[in-house]
Amino acid sequence: MDTTLEDPLVGRVIDGRYRVDARIAVGGMATVYRAVDTRLDRVLALKVMHPALAADGAFVERFIREAKSVARLAHPNVVAVFDQGTDGPYVYLAMEYVSGCTLRDLLRERGALQPRAALDVLEPVLAALGAAHRAGFVHRDMKPENVLIGDDGRVKVADFGLVRAVDSVTSTTGAVLGTVSYLAPEQIENGTTDTRVDVYACGVVLYEMLTGGKPHSGDTPAQVLYRHLNEDVPPPSAAVAGMPVELDELVATATARNPDLRPYDAVMLLSQVREARAALSDAQLDAVPPQSRAEAHSTSEDRTGVVPRPVAASAPADDVSHTTRFEHPPVPPLPPGAPSRPSPRRPARGTLIALVGALLVLALGAGVWYIGAGQFTRVPSLLGKTEAEARDRLAEAGLDVGDVRQQFSETVERGKVIGTDPAPGAQIRGNGSVALVLSRGPEIVTVPKVKGLPLERAKAELAKVGLAPGMVSQAFSGAIPRGSVIGTDPEAGEKRAPDTAVAIVVSKGAPVDVPGVVGSPLDDARSALEDLGLKVQVATEQINSPQPQGTVANQSVAAGAKAATGDTVVLTVSKGPRMVPVPDVTGRNVEDAKRALKEAGFEVKVEKPFISFSDDVASQSVKGGTTAPEGSTITIRIKGL
């Protein structure tokens, strides 16, 4: 039965312009339709907010604000936003229509992808997120369902409906919005959302593409949350034998539970992905994955949901556009099925409450939390306080934090409060919220000198003056130690606006000329490379090659190439040459004989008598019908007088 026939919008023209042809998908906040722009005769996607939500003025205002934000992301890998408007009870967004499938569809059909295919999908996703991050936005709900793969092969990121401005809201005290399987630990535990939560989600998506399954599973969403908080994402090689170490390292870096250990944003992760790809051979990139663990259908873990956290007051008013408040009952024991094993540390009380709250929300559905009114208090003075200190003072006064925005200030240190709304001393209900205005520091800042500093310290110095660490690249340097900064762009001493991204070049150390070790015994090759300060990894699979059995058949870094001390060279061991059948070419014309032998994989040597008037082969050094090593030389002799 076609359910679109029952949809009142199908067949209708919205706002006198958009003819709705079919329903594509239904979500928690909106329904998406395929429509035609009758003015431009263009097929597009129309996202229409559910009428119940459209009645909420704050939600509509937020919806429009975010539509404008996403419309500024003019990037080939971001689903474009064309228009926004209202028609009676309907609030809509007109967007680019992508004919194709989602990454989730692809994973269901194929399971695990080859590394090359996984990276081919991940790179444009990171390019899209990188554009958003550099524009000051966080997606917050990255998952395979939001990655569209067009019929023409183009990859686009969709559904920026949960996007948040990085410098307007940094955390949420009432609820976490996102999809359970892709939530970063800091989102679950305290609601912190910056560019690194998208990096974490992309690391989980990469794991899923490489293995065909999610890294953390459980009988309930609460168990999945527990594992994200308390267990590292396993390396893909634990599920897929022979997975290159570079891909293990990519997943581990992107999904580090400590956000400070992750790449700062998608641009930085993209740089690391490209570096990892360059280190992989064609055979590694095109390795066929085993039977996957792809799921037959989506579960509650795949859907965007609201995870409440225990707080003394309601979440910021800015969050009502996407969340429903939930009452927090007394904390029962950890839900059944959570890992039971000797634990070196007990999970924080907040973690347990978040898990229990998640279980209640996702299992029992929605509820509404009302707070009594009638109690008033005065807004405390917060000038000069850090955001954390201001939040603590407001909590002590029984007040919540509303919007957090930033302004330039020549007198107040970056990150400290320069104003509040309502103002200090104003009366406010005991359950009200107070908006904070934080200093961005001076409107123009000077790029500090970080040359010679370790990378993490250099990032800290840039952040201290209000600049954003940008793309990190590497270069050889005999003067700067490995891992320390060679230089920046813009250079030290130049003036820039706060939050400008500063690209960093990090030293790989002095260059090492990689010797050629193909044909050498494995132990000799290992010693030669390690003596130069290089690391050696032996490929798990051996291959046939012209090299003798047990010697090196291939090296991942070519002879004569430059490498850095500590770089890894992968050696592949030879199984010896492959034995192939020798064609019988006696009696055949010499050119035909040479062609047949070369096509069979042999080198050919021709011996011709001093006097001969024939071009026919009299004999061959290896008898036809027998086998010989591939690549070996077969001698053919021409008939004489």
Taking the C-alpha atoms of residue 328 and residue 353, their distance in angstroms, rounded to an integer, is 9
Instruction: Write the DSSP string, 529-558.
Output: HHTTT-EEEE-SS-B--SSPTTBEEEESS-
Per-residue b or e along 302-334, where b marks 16 or more CB atoms closer than 10 Å to that residue's CB = bbbbbbbbebebbbbebbbbbbebbeeeeeeeb
| Residue 113 main-chain phi, psi, to 5 deg | -100, 160
Taking the C-alpha atoms of residue 13 and residue 20, their distance in angstroms, rounded to an integer, is 6
Instruction: Report the chain's terminal Cα–Cα distance, integer Å.
Output: 87
Taking the C-alpha atoms of residue 233 and residue 54, their distance in angstroms, rounded to an integer, is 39
Matching residue, tokens 């890998």: 77
Taking the C-alpha atoms of residue 506 and residue 135, their distance in angstroms, rounded to an integer, is 25
Four-residue CA torsion sign, 382, 398, 186, 231: positive
HSE-up of residue 580 (Cα within 13 Å, Cβ side): 20
The secondary structure element, H or E, covering residue 5 is: none
| Strands 18-26 vs 13-14: parallel, antiparallel or unpaired | antiparallel
Structure tokens at 222: 């609460």
Is 302 assigned a catalytic role? no
Q: Which residues sit opposite 377 in a β-bridge? A: 428
Write down the catalytic residue from 15, 21, 41, 141: 141
Percent composition of the chain: helix, strand, coil (DSSP 3-state, to 5): 30, 25, 45
88 Cβ contact list (under 8 Å, min separation 6): none
Taking the C-alpha atoms of residue 165 and residue 132, their distance in angstroms, rounded to an integer, is 10
Identify the CA nearest to 48 among candidates 90, 100, 80, 106: 90
Catalytic residues: 141
